[in-house]
Amino acid sequence: MADLTITFLGTGTSLGVPMIGCDCRICRSTDSRDKRTRASIHVETADYAWLVDTGPDFRTQALREGVRRVDAVVFTHSHTDHIMGFDDLRPFCFGDKELPVYASPDTMRDLSRAFQFAFNGENRWPGYIRPLPHLIDGPFQFGATEITPLPVLHGRISVNGYLFRRNGEPLAAYLSDCKEVPAVVRAEIRGVRHLIVDALRYTPHPTHMNVEEALALASDVAADQTWLTHLSHDVMHAEAEAALPTGVRIAFDGLKIEI
Ligand SMILES: [Zn+2]
Ligand SMILES: [Zn+2]
Ligand SMILES: [Zn+2]
């Protein structure tokens, strides 16, 4: 078994691809890799399994991928495309189990406001979700995996990417929503085996990297393999991937990487 398996539950931007009401050639594409649900990943190791974000498509993603094990959930930030599937975590709390939820103080504040029925501790009927909040203030451990928060700029806000290390080896870094990656974060992830990074579209955007910016980051970080995610209907999988340099590929819903 691989040390760490990442399943891409979703690789799309907030509107998803296809986008409602759009007849562009990517929204009409018959390539299944051009169908992108909202971005999140499931990470599994021998001793622990977790999600990074629960977007509005979480239920269908979990059914599609047969997700059976979730020991904790980690959030990057509180934009709706990353949190709105939260209540569908209920099956992972059956038997009155508490589900550890890791987030920055800002993100936890927004989560506890959006899902106050779950966080306020009242009316804990059987079958309700039971979050156990953990505020992130530094690296933390899931079994033998060390998780390091990576604060990156997503427009005007700072959000968390995450680095996963086992036995001291940096296996994967996930930066789903970012426009700028500070030097200290670049230094932390340099040489990581797999870099997963935001690449919204080709033209510049105020809060997300475009493909060109993502490629510049990829060459700086020099991962063995870089994967582009959080993609809009600007990017046609087959065509875009053919134009990428060696070592950079486009992630798609259902892709599994075993590290
Ligand atoms: Zn997003
Ligand atoms: Zn379109
Ligand atoms: Zn966002």
Tell me the CA–centroid distance for residue 154 and ligand 3, in Å. Answer: 7
Per-residue model confidence (pLDDT) at position 89:
97
The separation between CA 20 and the C-alpha centre of its own chain, rounded to angstroms, equals: 22
Buried b (16+ CB within 10 A) or exposed e, 19-58: beeeeeebbebeeebbbbbbbbbbbbbeebbbbbbbbbbb
Tell me the CA–centroid distance for residue 162 and ligand 1, in Å. Answer: 15
Contacts of residue 223, Cβ cutoff 8 Å, sequence gap at least 6: 173, 189, 191, 192, 193, 194, 195, 247
Tell me the CA–centroid distance for residue 53 and ligand 1, in Å. Answer: 10
Per-residue model confidence (pLDDT) at position 122:
85
Tell me the CA–centroid distance for residue 78 and ligand 3, in Å. Answer: 7
Identify which ligand lies nearest to the alpha carbon of 56: 1
Low-confidence ranges of the chain (pLDDT < 50): none
Per-residue model confidence (pLDDT) at position 209:
98
In terms of residues, how long is the chain?
259
Per-residue model confidence (pLDDT) at position 40:
98
Distance CA 115, CA 140 (A): 24
Tell me the CA–centroid distance for residue 107 and ligand 2, in Å. Answer: 30
pTM of the model: 0.97
Beta-bridge partners for 228 = 197, 250
